[in-house]
Chains A and B, each alone.
Chain A
Amino acid sequence: MNELTIAMPKGRIFEEAYKLFVQAGFNLPAEISDSRKLIVEAPDERIQFILAKPMDVPVYVEHGVADIGIAGKDVLLEQHRDVHELLDLHISNCYIATAGIPNTKMNEIAPRVATKYPRIATNFYKEKGEQVEIIELNGSIELAPMIGLADRIVDIVSTGQTLKENGLVEYEKIVSISSRLIVNPVSYRVKSERINIFVAQLKNELNKR
């Protein structure tokens, strides 16, 4: 059988995805997660794992250097890569929302929104019919309203704890997020048999939950 290459996001999603794979009956080496290696083999399954930044997983899959990947819906929405989205893994569930300082309105003259997701934010405000200035930040988005850089932020919310601790409240929920199994369009056809078996095995486990 052909070898499969799977791009996995490092960090929290990895732990959950690893657990899911093991529960679905895949025989994976135990040391994957705590190794610093970027490429890890699972010889029993003829699977090769690439460990990547979550934002980069769809890039590897789109270019076909990985057949399969696990990516958050937030990343997929932001990047619009040419990949097939086959399964909702129902892990790392959270959502994207707008937030800001309580009881405030958007500045009428120069409304500003800070976000790590410029495309999602742009589309959201476009659909609402509001023209806003999008400020792209790479982290600690919650700072922006606190120090007067922006009126609102668009960010991932999982428990709401970070918002609370920084005195912010959620305003509108934009979209639900979970991790998805994505596949390269060429691999999907050329390695179809192998991938179908892999997907069926995962699906089987997901249906039990």
Chain B
Amino acid sequence: MSKIQMFEKPLGMRDSFPEVNEQKESIRSIARDFIRTKGYDFIKTPSVEYFETIGKASAIDESSLFKLVDNQGEMLVLRPDMTTPIARIAASKLLKEKNPLRLAYYADVFRAQQREGGRPAEFEQLGLELVGDFSPYADSEIIYTAIELLKALGVESFQITIGHAEILTAFLTNNTDNTKQVEMLRQLLVEKNLVGFSQKLESMNLLEEQKERLMKIIDYTIESNTFTDFRQFLNDDQQYLIDQVEELQNLLEFQLNDFSIVSFDFSLASHMSYYTGMLFEIHAAGSGFSIGNGGRYDELFKKFDEKVGATGFGIRVDRLLEVLPKQIIKEKHTLLLFDKGSFSKANVLAEARRNASEYVTLQYIESVNDLEAFKQIFDEVVIVSEGGSLRE
């Protein structure tokens, strides 16, 4: 490796300069106000957790974890997601006080990048978790809140694609001979490698009718209210899964004015392996990458010895920034320059202007090297002297 230069940061780490930082703050405050009106409480968790607990329970691949060792020799990780730490807190403490539990977070998560150094390895995530509820009402609350939140933030054009982890597993299992085949096919669906999917089917030793049915899932983009067609692919004891999705659809249709932003796709599979029920992805025009995803993850709580239902979503703030229209922040920045004799007068003037919601910088004039360049940065410059104020 070449010598590290003074300006360099570790791979994937980014600075947030004032302008971007303000945009993030504004997202945070809009989101916070909105989410709290829905009865969710914000929570913070440590940046560093044990590898043995959070690191292993997290759905993030081990190769993406930042690992370190503490002074006792314990392996630690920088938290790779927020869902797992929240599950830890909920299982060990908060669920005993409030059940069902509604929690929200806005936090940095860390995922090491192997490719293209510029990709962020630390980024802010904004999300909700609803713990202690198995019902479709909880699922629809999460999806509906995600939609409302995006609208509140000003995201104009986005799509929600809903799938169901258990339906996909049932469908794949019904038409293959073993779990190894199920896993191979699911992995190809996660990558949405449809060419690979059909080639893999050809190479598998399956009945023709099984292959035919499996191919159908590729072409099966479900327009709303045609789930009934899909029922034929599931056994009698699996029909309740379709009932669940239908109920979810009914609830969402009731809540949403415009249902066209929601579509269902049973071939949707996630790299987050812990999803057990409905799962969804959020795509918005303006970013080439998905801006968020969510779903039901009851399974995760088993790792913390709890049997509760849990559902939630997370949105990446850096991707959100790409999608949102550039905000023009209308703020007036004023520079008050004072010299030795005018300090007290400048203070009085600054106070008055701050009370009038101006952003006032108070600066001793002799300390500025390049006065002309410095003045350029501000909307208004006032030089305060003993005799009076000179406005420029």
Q: Which residues of A contact B (CB under 8 A)?
A: 62-65, 82, 84-88, 180, 184-186, 188-190, 192, 196
Known: A190-B283, A192-B221. A82 touches B194 (CB 8 A): no
Residues of chain B lying within 8 A (CB to CB) of residue A86: 192, 194-195
Asked whether A85 and B193 contact (CB < 8 A) given A65-B288, A186-B288, A189-B283, the answer is: yes
> How many angstroms between the C-alpha atoms of A186 and B284 in the bound complex?
7
Chain A residues near B199: list those with CB within 8 A: 88
Contact B289 A64, beta carbon cutoff 8 Å: yes
Contact A196 B284 (CB under 8 A): no
A85 to B192, Cβ gap below 8 A? Answer: yes
Query: Which residues of chain B have C-beta atoms less than 8 A from A190's C-beta?
Result: 157-159, 283-285
The B interface is mostly helix, strand or loop, or mixed, namely mixed
Nearest chain A residue, comparing its CB with the CB of B158: A190
**Chain B residues within 8 Å of A184, by CB:** 288
CB-nearest residue of chain A to B161: A189
Chain B residues with Cβ under 8 A from A188's Cβ?
192, 283
B238 within 8 A of A: no
A64 partner residues in chain B, CB cutoff 8 A: 287-289
- Taken together as a complex, chains A and B put the C-alpha atoms of A21 and B63 apart, in Å, by 41
B281 interface hit (Cβ, 8 Å) = yes
B196 lies within 8 A of chain A by Cβ: yes
Interface centre among A87, A192, A196 (most CB of B within 10 A): A192
Instruction: List the B residue with the shortest CB-CB distance to A84.
Output: B192
Q: Which of B158, B159, B194, B263 contacts A85 (CB 8 A)?
A: B194
Ordered by A's residue number, 15 sampled pairs between the chains whose C-beta atoms are within 8 Å are: A64-B289, A85-B191, A85-B193, A85-B194, A86-B194, A186-B283, A186-B284, A186-B287, A186-B288, A186-B289, A188-B283, A189-B263, A190-B285, A192-B159, A196-B221
Please measure, in the bound complex, the distance between the C-alpha atom of A105 and the C-alpha atom of B157, giving whole angstroms: 59
Distance in angstroms from B281 CB to nearest chain A CB is 7
Does B192 contact A186, Cβ atoms closer than 8 Å? no
Residue B290 is within 8 A (CB to CB) of chain A in the complex:
yes
Note all chain B residues with C-beta closer than 8 A to A65.
288
Q: State A186–B352 Cα separation when bound (angstroms).
A: 50
Residues A185 and B192 in contact in the complex (CB < 8 Å), given A62-B288, A64-B287, A196-B221: yes
Separation of A180 and B192 alpha carbons in the complex (Å)? 13
Chain B residues with CB below 8 A from A84, complex form: 191-194
Q: Contact flags (1/0) for B158-174 with A, using CB distance below 8 Å?
A: 11010000000000000
In this complex, what residue of A is CB-closest to B188? A85
Chain B residue nearest in CB terms to A82: B289
Closest CB-CB distance, A87 to chain B, in whole Å?
Answer: 7
Bound Cα distance from A188 to B191, whole angstroms: 13
A170 to chain B, nearest CB (A): 22
Which chain A positions have C-beta within 8 A of B281? Answer: 189
B263 and A192: CB pair below 8 A?
yes
The distance in angstroms between the C-alpha atoms of A65 and B161, with both chains bound, is 21
Task: Kindly state the separation between the CA atoms of A82 and B195 in the bound complex, as whole angstroms.
Answer: 15
Complex CA gap A61/B333 in Å reads 42
Q: How far is the CA of A185 from the CA of B290 in the complex (A)?
A: 7
Query: Are A85 and B196 within 8 A (Cβ)?
Result: yes
In the complex the two chains form, what is the Cα distance from A85 to B194 in whole Å?
6
Give the shortest distance, in Å, between B290 (CB) and chain A (any CB). 6
Question: Known contacts being A185-B283, A190-B158, A192-B263, is A85 close to B289, with CB within 8 Å?
Answer: no
B58 to A: closest C-beta gap in Å: 20
Cβ–Cβ < 8 Å partners of B283 in chain A: 185-186, 188-190
Q: B192 — which chain A residues lie within 8 A by C-beta?
A: 84-86, 185, 188
* Bound Cα distance from A63 to B322, whole angstroms: 12
Provide the bound-state CA to CA distance between A176 and B290, in Å: 31
For A180, the closest partner residue in chain B by CB is B195
Are the CB atoms of B194 and A186 closer together than 8 Å? no
Q: What's the nearest-Cβ distance from chain A to residue B375, in Å?
A: 40
Name the A residues within 8 Å of B157 (CB-CB). 190
B195 touches A85 (CB 8 A): yes
Q: Which residues of B contact A192 (CB under 8 A)?
A: 159, 221, 263
Q: Enumerate chain B residues within 8 angstroms of A196, measured Cβ to Cβ.
A: 221
Q: B289 — which chain A residues lie within 8 A by C-beta?
A: 64, 82, 185-186
- Compute how far the CA of A86 lies from the CA of B285 in the bound complex, rounded to whole angstroms: 20
B residues 194-219 near A (Cβ < 8 Å) are 194-196, 199
CA of A188 to CA of B267, assembled, Å: 14
A86 CA / B219 CA spacing, docked (Å): 11
